[in-house]
C-alpha cells in the first residue's frame, strides 16, 4: 500500500509544529553532527534555526567522539601471540552495570590485537580473572604467556 492509495495524504515524518528551532535541538535530532554540517544545512535551507551559532556546546559529543591514543612502540619485536600482553583495570564505575559490576579488566595481545574484556564485581577479583585469562589463552594458542 502506498500514499497514492490515500488521496490528499502526504508523508509528514519531517514536519513539526514549530517551523524554526534552535541549533542545539537540530543537533540532537540529527544525531549530533558537527557545527559545520549544521551551518551547511541551514545555508541550503534544509533546516531553519532560530539562532545558528557555530560554537554551541554539546556535553554528549566529547564523550561519544572521544578517542584514545594508540599504544606507542614498546621496543619489542613481537612475532607470535602471547609474547606481549597489555592489561588495564578500570573502575569503579559511577553506577553498577546491569549485572552488578563496577570494575572492568581488559587484556590486549600485542601481536594479534585481540581484546579480552572481563567485568569485575570488585577490584580484588583481578588476580582470579587474570588466572582464568591465562588458562584460556594458553590453551587456545598452545603456548605460554611470555
Domain contains 115: yes
Domain contains 75: no
Domain contains 35: yes
Domain contains 69: no
State the pLDDT at residue 37. 81
Q: Which residue has the cell 600485542?
A: 110
Mean pLDDT of the residues in the chain: 79
Mean pLDDT for 1-12 is 49
pTM: 0.51
Domain contains 3: no
Domain contains 42: yes
Confidence of residue 12 (pLDDT cuts 50, 70, 90): very low
* Cβ neighbours of residue 49 closer than 8 Å, sequence gap 6 or more: 20, 21, 22, 23, 26, 38, 42
Cell of 109: 595481545
Together in a domain, 94 and 48: no
Together in a domain, 49 and 92: no
State the pLDDT at residue 107. 95
| Domain count for the chain | 2
Residue 37 is part of which domain span?
A: 16-64
Amino acid at each position: 500500500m502506498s500514499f497514492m492509495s490515500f488521496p490528499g495524504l502526504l508523508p509528514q515524518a519531517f514536519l513539526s509544529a514549530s517551523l524554526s528551532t534552535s541549533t542545539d535541538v537540530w543537533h540532537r535530532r540529527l544525531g549530533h553532527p558537527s557545527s559545520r554540517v549544521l551551518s551547511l544545512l541551514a545555508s541550503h535551507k534544509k533546516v531553519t534555526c532560530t539562532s545558528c551559532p557555530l560554537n554551541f556546546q554539546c556535553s554528549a559529543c566529547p564523550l561519544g567522539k572521544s578517542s584514545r591514543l594508540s599504544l606507542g612502540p614498546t621496543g619489542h619485536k613481537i612475532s607470535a601471540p602471547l609474547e606481549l600482553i597489555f592489561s588495564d583495570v578500570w573502575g569503579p564505575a559511577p553506577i553498577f552495570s546491569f549485572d552488578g559490576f563496577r570494575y572492568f579488566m581488559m587484556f590486549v595481545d600485542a601481536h594479534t590485537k585481540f581484546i579480552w574484556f572481563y567485568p569485575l564485581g570488585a577490584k580484588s577479583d583481578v588476580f582470579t580473572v587474570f588466572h582464568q585469562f591465562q588458562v584460556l589463552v594458553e590453551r587456545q594458542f598452545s603456548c605460554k604467556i611470555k
